[in-house]
Amino acid sequence: MKLNLWLYKCENRIRRFAVERLMPAISVVMLILFLVDIFLSMQTNGEAVSLNSFLVFNRDAIFRGQVWRVISFIFVYPLSTNIFFTLLALYFYFWVGTAVENYWGKARFNLYYLFGIIGTIIAGFIVGYVDNTYLNLSIFLAFAAMFPEERVLLFFIIPVKVKWIGIVEGAFLLLFFIFGDWATKAAILAAIANFLLFFGYDLINRLKFAYRDWKWRHDNRNNYR
């Protein structure tokens, strides 16, 4: 397929520039920023300005000269009122990113993340603001497509196959896209477009195979009675 060939050529072009263990490195930077913000908040009784606020993608701020925001938004850590959930999200980014890179290799993973970044930046300039939530979620979608039968412990107790979590995430993405603001819609669209660019062909083939299998079973069901 021409698309796969084009992706392969792009992958070869960036191979020598690819960063090994990219997502773990980004997760570590997020963790450092998170810890620094906690320290600053403790020193100023919660009145310190968060470093996150200087990193988020903001079109108006970029046009005022804060050009680092074009790329620094990838280091914004997940915001939560619960420290545990922030740390859990960072670990999840670390774990999923490592698994996808080990499966694909660093060049392919770098290309996937790079295209995701480019799509998110374009979305940000169109709507004015965007974050990295759905960019990072696209890595989990890639993980779910690669390892659908992998089991994870939901709430550290319930073993659930990754494919079911991926389906639930897809349903939530659809709801957020329908009912979210324009920034949310644009970020989701960029993430899904990137995922489909790399996995759309395989997903179509899987659906075709599933339909053919169902049709064969349906047409021959009387033979098993």
Residue 224 within any structural domain of the chain:
no
Residue 11 within any structural domain of the chain:
yes
Residue 225 within any structural domain of the chain:
no
The CATH number for 173's domain is 1.20.1540
Reply yes or no on whether the pLDDT at 209 is more than 70. Answer: no
Residue 8 within any structural domain of the chain:
yes
Helices (H), the chain: 2-14, 22-43, 59-63, 69-72, 83-104, 106-127, 133-146, 162-179, 182-219
Torsion angle, alpha carbons of 55, 81, 175, 120, to 10: 10
Q: Which helix (H) or strand (E) holds 42?
A: helix 22-43
Reply yes or no on whether the pLDDT at 42 is more than 80. Answer: no
- Please tell me what DSSP assigns to residue 128: S
Task: Specify the pLDDT at position 26.
Answer: 96
CA atoms of 202 and 145, how far apart (whole Å): 9
Number of compact structural domains in the chain: 1
**Own/partner pairs for 131-136, CB < 8 Å, 24+ apart?**
131/56, 131/57, 131/73, 131/76, 131/187, 132/73, 132/74, 132/76, 133/78, 133/187, 134/173, 134/184, 134/187, 134/188, 134/190, 134/191, 135/74, 135/187, 135/190, 135/191, 136/93
Residue 105 within any structural domain of the chain:
yes
Reply yes or no on whether the pLDDT at 71 is more than 80. Answer: yes
The values of phi and psi at residue 151, to 5°, are -105, 135
Residue 110 within any structural domain of the chain:
yes
For the entire predicted model, the pTM comes to 0.88
93: domain range? 2-218
Residue 92 within any structural domain of the chain:
yes
Task: Specify the pLDDT at position 1.
Answer: 62
Reply yes or no on whether the pLDDT at 116 is more than 90. Answer: yes
Task: Specify the pLDDT at position 111.
Answer: 96
